[in-house]
Structure 1
Amino acid sequence: MVEAWAEKRVVISPDPSTLAEAVAARFLSRVAKRVDEGKLAHVALTGGSMGSAVLAAAARSPRIEKIDWSGVHFWWSDERWVPQGHDDRNEKQSRAALLDALDIPAGNLHVAPASDDGLDLDAAADVHAEQLARFAGSEGPWPSFDVCFLGVGPDGHIASLFPDRPEILVTDRSVLGVRDSPKPPPERLTMTRPVINSSKRVWMVIAGADKASALGLALAGASYASVPAAGAKGRKRTVFFVDQAAAANVPPELIDREY
């Protein structure tokens, strides 16, 4: 069983605040290294409290002034199908936490369509897929994200890929419309599993005792159809950054104390 888990790392912080600071520092280091090499950095952001907390921690760092953000492109692994400017939009939360503080070209923020943009949900998915295809790489008609941030729900969902639903099984599309989501709002846009798994690094950031069961199942090799987090895997790294409360069910041999 340990061999099956070998590519997954678990890094534990004592509490959510320390967790956010630690992940933010790693994120800034990774982005800085990439752009200093003269390469574009593509980053997929996520919503939720920890997603925003990591970005807010990054915003507090003086290092953001030393990074050439013109070489960084931001995307979102999923978005809520609500109007522009709505508080539920992941984009708005990310802007408030970090993006509005950056000196970054507007064209580097690849925002998914909103419900008041004059498109239906499926057409919006197609439009967003076309945005991704503009940066097609060797892995498919989408960029290979240098870092793909993901939250994990208590049910094990990632992005808007929920357990035991058809979206988690789709492999021939890059973006899907989600209807009747088990978590409000009921309609969403989500990247599919092939897009997520073409990322160089998948970083799942998890805090809270209510996530311990989902984390344990993801590490134990559960079916990704029933526990989507179990199927998220970066090509170079797959790291679960967690707080102590979420780590209750993590076997000691999976904890990376040096990464």
Structure 2
Amino acid sequence: MVEGWAEKRVVIAPDPATLADSVAARFLSRVSKRVDEGKLAHISLTGGSMGSRVLASAARSPRAERMDWSRVHFWWSDERWLPRGDAERNDRQARDAFLDGIDIPAGNIHATLASDDGADLDAAAAAYAQELAGFPGAEGPWPSFDVCFLGVGPDGHIASLFPDRDEIQITDHSVVGVRDSPKPPPERITMTRPVINSSKRVWMVLSGPDKASALGLALAGASYASVPAAGAKGRKRTIFFVDEAAAAQVPPDLIDREY
């Protein structure tokens, strides 16, 4: 497990639209810097409404058209176990919002197997772990993501790591199947904490008053077993990008007004 993570900070935008635009601009800037240095960039995407809004905002930027996307690889921290092309799959939402509009090799988009691809849930999780292992990083047989995007649920879950469930405790697998999820659909695939916490930057993006309690608990140092968002930590940066409605319980000393 990675040691010496970055301190958690909070960056506040006035509303969801401004939040999405600001995170999208930072995302494109980070990827551009990495690519301009001649390096590969590995990005882990998330699902949910804010994840899609960030990608849609990035798609509208002229900077996205100029980027050399051949040096960028996209992954997903979790996926819903649904048929390929289903509108509720995270990869479908990301393709619609962003990926289908950029010039990127098909092999750089690393989606999990779907429920109609002929493999069962555990085999699909193992296949994704093997795909991750094709790009090993310093921390394990998986990429060290330059940015790992995460949403945060009202219950504090991240990816498909839900409170008080076995998956949040798993450290000997990089990817696992989830059954009987408390949030539909009941079957999912998720990366585990070691993979998420090997990321250089963990960016959690959340909006709305229903997220205020989870954010407050995560910042207060709650147990990651009960509030998984509290255990998500990047090696260089751990940032909660939030709107004002979600920031109601944020201590002033944790607000970063310069990042």
**What TM bracket, shorter-length normalisation?**
over 0.9
Q: Helix, strand or coil for the counterpart of 2:247? A: helix
Give the equivalent residue in structure 1 for 2:124: 124
When normalised by structure 1's length, the TM-score is: 0.98
Letter in 1 for 2:134: R
Give the equivalent residue in structure 2 for 1:209: 209
Task: Provide the identity percentage.
Answer: 80
What's the CA shift for 1:65? 1.4
Give the equivalent residue in structure 2 for 1:43: 43
Aligned residues: 256
CA distance in 2, matches of 1:23, 1:83: 30
For residues 67-102 of structure 1, the C-alpha deviation after alignment (integer angstroms, 9 at most, x for no partner) is 100000000000000000101100000000000000
Q: Closer, same or farther in 2 for the Cα pair 1:63/1:186, shift >3 Å?
A: same
Give the equivalent residue in structure 2 for 1:90: 90
Letter in 1 for 2:228: P
What's the CA shift for 1:36? 0.4
Unmatched 5+ stretches in structure 2: none
Give the equivalent residue in structure 2 for 1:7: 7
Give the equivalent residue in structure 1 for 2:113: 113
Q: Say whether the 8 Å CA contact 2:41–2:72 is kept in structure 1.
A: yes
CA distance in 2, matches of 1:28, 1:137: 22
Give the equivalent residue in structure 2 for 1:143: 143
Q: Helix, strand or coil for the counterpart of 1:42? A: strand
CA distance in 1, matches of 2:50, 2:137: 29
Give the equivalent residue in structure 2 for 1:134: 134
CA distance in 2, matches of 1:228, 1:183: 15
Q: Closer, same or farther in 2 for the Cα pair 1:117/1:200, shift >3 Å?
A: same
Alignment of structure 1 residues 213-252 onto 2, 5 Å: 213-252=213-252
What's the CA shift for 1:6? 7.6
Unmatched 5+ stretches in structure 1: none
CA distance in 2, matches of 1:101, 1:121: 30
Q: Closer, same or farther in 2 for the Cα pair 1:176/1:6, shift >3 Å?
A: closer
For residues 102-159 of structure 1, the C-alpha deviation after alignment (integer angstroms, 9 at most, x for no partner) is 0000000001000001001000110000000000111001000000000000000000
Alignment of structure 1 residues 76-87 onto 2, 5 Å: 76-87=76-87
CA distance in 2, matches of 1:200, 1:118: 34
For residues 215-238 of structure 1, the C-alpha deviation after alignment (integer angstroms, 9 at most, x for no partner) is 000000000000000000000000
What's the CA shift for 1:52? 0.2
Give the equivalent residue in structure 2 for 1:182: 182
When normalised by structure 2's length, the TM-score is: 0.98
Matched, 1:67 2:97: no
Give the equivalent residue in structure 2 for 1:18: 18
Q: Helix, strand or coil for the counterpart of 1:29? A: helix
Matched, 1:154 2:154: yes
Q: Closer, same or farther in 2 for the Cα pair 1:72/1:46, shift >3 Å?
A: same
Q: Closer, same or farther in 2 for the Cα pair 1:96/1:242, shift >3 Å?
A: same
CA distance in 2, matches of 1:254, 1:158: 21
Letter in 2 for 1:83: P
4+ runs deviating over 3 angstroms: none
CA distance in 1, matches of 2:227, 2:196: 15
Q: What value does the CA root-mean-square deviation take over the aligned residues?
A: 1.1
Give the equivalent residue in structure 2 for 1:256: 256
CA distance in 1, matches of 2:81, 2:6: 37
